[in-house]
Amino acid sequence: MPPLIRHTRPVDVLVTGAGGFIGGHLVGALLRKGLSVRAVDIKPLDQWFQHHQGAEPVVADLQRWESAQAVMRGVGAVYQLASDMGGMGFIEQHKARCMLSVLINTHLLMAARDAGVQRFFYASSACVYNAERQASPGVMPLREEDAYPALPEDGYGWEKLFSERMCRHFTEDFGLATRVARYHNVYGPHGTWDGGREKAPAAICRKVIAAKQQGFRDIEIWGDGEQTRSFMYIDDCIHGTLGLCASDHAEPINIGSSELVSINQLVDLVEEIAGIRLVRRYRLNAPKGVAGRNSDNTRLRTLLGWEPSVTLREGLEQTYRWIHDEYMARQAGRSPLRAIAAS
């Protein structure tokens, strides 16, 4: 279990889950804005996806109340992205583990309240939405109010929805200014691309790269490939997150692309980028989630005058190249290509 860290200097921002995909990109963006950042994750430092010079790195288990108190000392604002999660395969098979993330959110909200934190951002998910509104591949884009009546993704979705409500009530009861974003399928470089926690874009890129490098002629697809999603590139995610946190909007809001595609269309795009065509084997009993999910960005456009704009093709080209380099480094027995950036 990671030891408690005693902090001696105040910082502008605490980012939890900083060793992960979105958290690593967010730390970099905050440093570029000239802010001081405390970056916290439970993973050992050598397993973080990005290391940023200028950030204060801390290894801590935020399910422990003492750790939440320790990392909160001297903090002005919080970006809470820490959770035990992954792609659909992981969250369908580890419901209890996903729900235990409520300990992280509870402890951090309490510690933020006690420390007089000015603003608390919580990264929620489109998995909070009522499953009955996602029963068809041709789904209507999900509006924020479609989370109720509640019927979220079992386990992970319930934990996210419950934590959203905690944010709301900490604002109402204790005056802690909270902001909540419902992310829709974020992807891009410097994230998980194998091992069971990866999401669909990374998984498809890896499978296509492996097929091309090893001479395979086929690819396994979970489900029938007709299920639909929208996928948001990481740069758009960070831009929307920073914009939301600077706003006065206190209710949960979608941050996601509205470019709806099927998984088959996602595979088409990755095959085009790779310059290969593969025979598809459909694993119909594999975890595949809801039949369709897309983001209604009406509220986001009204609030920020903006919505995600990086096309799926553009984002996949960047993601494919990064995963290709990681894959080749592993095949050659080299260390992963962790990003190291100056503040």
Q: Which of 97, 67, 100, 81 is nearest to 13 (CA)?
A: 81
- Look at residue 8 and give its three-state secondary structure: coil
Asked if residue 29 belongs to a domain, the reply is yes
Asked if residue 219 belongs to a domain, the reply is no
HEC-encoded secondary structure of 68-128: HHHHCCCEEEEEECCCCCCCHHHHHHCHHHHHCCHHHHHHHHHHHHHHCCCEEEEEEEHHH
Asked if residue 70 belongs to a domain, the reply is yes
pTM for the whole thing? 0.93
Asked if residue 224 belongs to a domain, the reply is no
Contact yes or no for 289/153 (Cβ under 8 A): yes
The continuous run of DSSP H or E covering 323 comes out as helix 312-331
Asked if residue 152 belongs to a domain, the reply is yes
Q: Which of 308, 54, 329 is nearest to 188 (CA)?
A: 308
Residue in 156, 233, 320, 327 annotated catalytic: 156
Asked if residue 265 belongs to a domain, the reply is no
pLDDT of residue 196: 83
- Look at residue 27 and give its three-state secondary structure: helix
Torsion angle, alpha carbons of 271, 277, 280, 286, to 10: -20
pLDDT of residue 335: 67
pLDDT of residue 340: 61
* Dihedral sign from CA coordinates of 222, 224, 230, 232: positive
Q: Can you give the residue range of the structural domain that contains 118?
A: 11-187+232-257+295-309+336-341
Residues forming beta bridges with residue 232, ordered by sequence position = 186
Q: How confident is the model at residue 341 (pLDDT cuts 50, 70, 90)?
A: low
Mean pLDDT of 123-148: 95
**DSSP letter, residue 266:** H
Contacts of 232 (CB under 8 A, 6+ apart): 183, 184, 185, 186, 187, 255, 256, 257, 295, 308, 310
Asked if residue 3 belongs to a domain, the reply is no
pLDDT of residue 93: 78
Contacts of 145 (CB under 8 A, 6+ apart): none
- Give the Cα separation of 287 and 194 in Å (integer): 16
pLDDT of residue 343: 47
**Per-residue pLDDT reduced to its tens digit, 208-261:** 999 999 999 999 999 999 999 999 999 999 999 999 999 999 999 999 999 999
Residue 190 has pLDDT above 90, yes or no: yes
**Per-residue pLDDT reduced to its tens digit, 269-303:** 999 999 999 999 999 988 888 999 999 999 999 99
Contact yes or no for 182/254 (Cβ under 8 A): yes
* Dihedral sign from CA coordinates of 17, 143, 177, 108: negative
Q: How confident is the model at residue 310 (pLDDT cuts 50, 70, 90)?
A: very high
Contact yes or no for 98/84 (Cβ under 8 A): yes
**Is 12 exposed, middle or buried (CB count within 10 Å of its CB: 0-12, 13-18, 19+)?**
middle
The verdict on whether 156 is a catalytic residue reads yes
**Tokens 């929620």, located at residue:** 124
pLDDT of residue 140: 94
Asked if residue 2 belongs to a domain, the reply is no
DSSP string across 160-210: HHHHHHHHHHHHHHH--EEEEEEE--EE-SSS--SSS---HHHHHHHHHHH
pLDDT of residue 73: 94
**Per-residue pLDDT reduced to its tens digit, 30-71:** 999 999 999 999 999 999 999 999 999 999 999 999 999 999
161: domain CATH number is: 3.40.50.720
Residue 131 has pLDDT above 90, yes or no: yes
Q: Give how many domains the chain has, as a whole number.
A: 1
Mean pLDDT of 168-177: 98
pLDDT of residue 4: 55
